[in-house]
Structure 1
Amino acid sequence: MAKILRLPLILIVTSALGACGLIYKPTGAVLNHLAQDEVVPHVYASDDLDMSACGTGLGQTQLLGSFGRVMDAPSRVLLNTHTLAGLCSEAAAQEAQLHFDRALHAGHTTEARDARIQAQRLYQRTAERRLKVYHDTENAFGKIGDGKCPTLGSDTEQMEYLTGLLTSVQAVLSDIRAGSSVGVPQDIAARAARATHCLDNDKWWGVPNALQAVVWLSVPGTAPNGAQPWQQLKAAADLGQSKGMPMAAMLYAEAGYGRSDPQRERDGIRQVAKIYNAGNGPKDYRIFTQVAYREAMFLSDEIWTQKTGQRTPFLNLGTFPGDDKKQNDDSSKVDVDSLLN
């Protein structure tokens, strides 16, 4: 009798499990469309980079990516979530790098070595996530830098393509910081630079031309005859300033850092601070303003920490050690011991 009753139970359970399998694919399709149509624009307009990067980026990547087991992987959505996850791990890597700078400034060599190892591990993770963005970009839009442009309809699609190109270049740079431990193909940067012509430079705040010039400066042999990368970068940064977007100015500062040109690095940081403080950026893309600001702040923090052992004084982005103007905010004069006692 027990065997007779067990058979229908097995059939019911099997049918239920089969039914679950049938709903995974449409559920994935619905979530993919929701993320693409609503979540992505919502994140682009956010001014909370930490929540977007370490909340949405880390929290949604595995959920949405898992539907690639039952349907085509939602590459456009994953392009965004992997980008955000990379920004999250990069922020942690930058904090470890600043720890290294502080320890080195104080003469604590063992602590400095340990912080350097931690930074390299985190840059390795960042490079891995950014390499996934490169693959997501090609899965979503086709091979980049092959002379053909994808069909880019909406502004969101165009921004995603630009994000994919920019993050692909950053994958190479993050891997270099990690001792080339991930093995990100070096030709990605050159191909991303070639693909920037698929985007309207004026519409997207000078970022396509700025990215192209950064690659020309960073990868030997990629600049065409007669190219003037620094002039192109500065023009792009000024165009971005006219539109309230500091991304191109941030790339100018990064190029100065990468080329060991402290004057251009500082000029780029100052321009980012000026654009950011004006508060005239495009409201639908505030997250990119925040990305530019944070990267400029990290470059500034490194300058300050290497010189003084402390990061940029509060609300003083754009000032540097040795400037004639006031270097520290009033809080630096507070007697901390008296507050703690």
Structure 2
Amino acid sequence: MQMLKVGTIAGLTGAALAGCGLIYKPVGHTLNHYSLDEIVPYALGSGDLDLAACGTGMGLNQLGGSFSRVIKRPARLMIVTNTTASFCSEIQAQKYHLKVQRNLHNGNTDVARDNRIVAQRWERLTALRRYQVYQDTVNAYGEIGTDKCPDLSNELGTDQDQFVYLTGVLVGVQGLLNDIQANSSVGIPQNIAAKAGRASDCIDNQQWWGVPKALEAVVWLSVPGNAPEGAQPYAQLQQSAEIGRRAGIALPAMLYALAAYGQSDMARQKEAIKMVAEIYNDYEPGKAPDDRDENNDAAQYLLLNQIAYNEALYLSDRIWIDAEGHRTPLVALGSFPGEGAPTQEIDAGSYLN
């Protein structure tokens, strides 16, 4: 009798666990599609980089990744979550890079050396997350940069699939740059950049605000010998930035700024930073989501402008710290030292009262 009870309990437990397994699979598929269809578009239109990167990206990443225990890995979702999570860690890396500059400016070399080590740790984490983005892009769409473009109308069947692919290609290149900053400690293959440049031809440049051609030009400047004969990368970057300006998207202008920074071209870097500021300020970032024109790309992809603004602000801060010892004055992106830019007068006494 006792054995019968034990057997009954074991059977019921097994059945319950099996039932959970049956439930997990449809729940996994449902949550995966809901995340792509609703959470991701909401985050892209929210305009709060901290919430999207350190909130949605960090929080949804583990939940999304856990789906791979019961269904096929949701690679498309993981492209987005690791991308946004990577901006969270990159912001930390940038913070410590700026501390390096400030301490060098003030002659605190020991502190600057420590800050650089911390910055490299954050760069390494960012590179790891972005390399995972690249791997998930290959998982979802096949190897990038081959002579065959992927089918971008399969599972999602919408423009969102093209956006996810573009994200994966772009972030893969960014991950390589992060790894270089981290002394190549992750070991991301350097041919990813050239592959990404070729893969950009698979995306419609006009539809996606000039980003594909801007990325291609960045690769030409970053990878020696990769540009075709007669290529004019800076002209292509300027053209792409203008396409982005007309659409209200600052991302191509941001890529222009990063390319100029990488080539130590201060004049072009300032030009691109000013363009980012102008595009960002032309759209009203403080407007409530419900009040925006849903057919406006700048409204649907407001987070991209926040990313562009943050990256441009970091480059601007580097310029200001080198010249003045402090970051860009509040709400003054696009102004530079020596150009009649606003300054911040600090009353030291007010902090003591």
Per the shorter chain, which TM-score range? over 0.9
C-alpha deviations, 1:121-180, integer Å up to 9, x for none? Answer: 000000000001101111111111101111223111111111111101101111111111
Counterpart CA distance in 2 for 1:218 and 1:207 is 16
Alignment of 1:289 with 2:293, yes or no, is: no
Alignment of 1:236 with 2:240, yes or no, is: yes
Q: Structure 1: any 5+ residue segments left out of the alignment?
A: none
Show the counterpart of 1:159. 163
Show the counterpart of 2:30. 30
Deviation at 1:302, TM superposition (A): 1.0
Counterpart CA distance in 2 for 1:336 and 1:277 is 32
TM value normalised by structure 2: 0.92
Show the counterpart of 1:327. 342
C-alpha deviations, 1:59-117, integer Å up to 9, x for none? Answer: 01111111112211001000000101111100111011111111111111111111100
Deviation at 1:222, TM superposition (A): 0.8
Show the counterpart of 1:20. 20
Deviation at 1:17, TM superposition (A): 1.7
Matches within 5 A, 1:1-341: 2-153=2-153, 154-279=158-283, 282-323=298-339, 325-328=340-343, 332-341=344-353
SS in structure 2 of the partner of residue 45 of structure 1? helix
Deviation at 1:4, TM superposition (A): 4.2
Deviation at 1:3, TM superposition (A): 4.4
C-alpha deviations, 1:184-214, integer Å up to 9, x for none? Answer: 0101111111011111111111111110000
User: Root-mean-square deviation (CA), in Å?
Assistant: 1.4
Letter aligned with residue 305 of structure 1: I
Is contact 2:283-2:298 (8 Å) kept? no
Counterpart CA distance in 2 for 1:63 and 1:242 is 37
Deviation at 1:340, TM superposition (A): 3.9
Deviation at 1:248, TM superposition (A): 0.8
SS in structure 2 of the partner of residue 212 of structure 1? helix
Q: Structure 2: any 5+ residue segments left out of the alignment?
A: 285-296
Deviation at 1:22, TM superposition (A): 2.1
TM value normalised by structure 1: 0.96
SS in structure 2 of the partner of residue 333 of structure 1? coil
Residues matched between the structures, number: 337
Counterpart CA distance in 2 for 1:334 and 1:122 is 32
Is contact 2:44-2:303 (8 Å) kept? yes
Deviation at 1:334, TM superposition (A): 4.2
Deviation at 1:333, TM superposition (A): 2.3
Deviation at 1:250, TM superposition (A): 0.6
Task: Give the share of equivalent positions with the same residue, in percent.
Answer: 51
Deviation at 1:316, TM superposition (A): 0.6
Letter aligned with residue 304 of structure 2: F
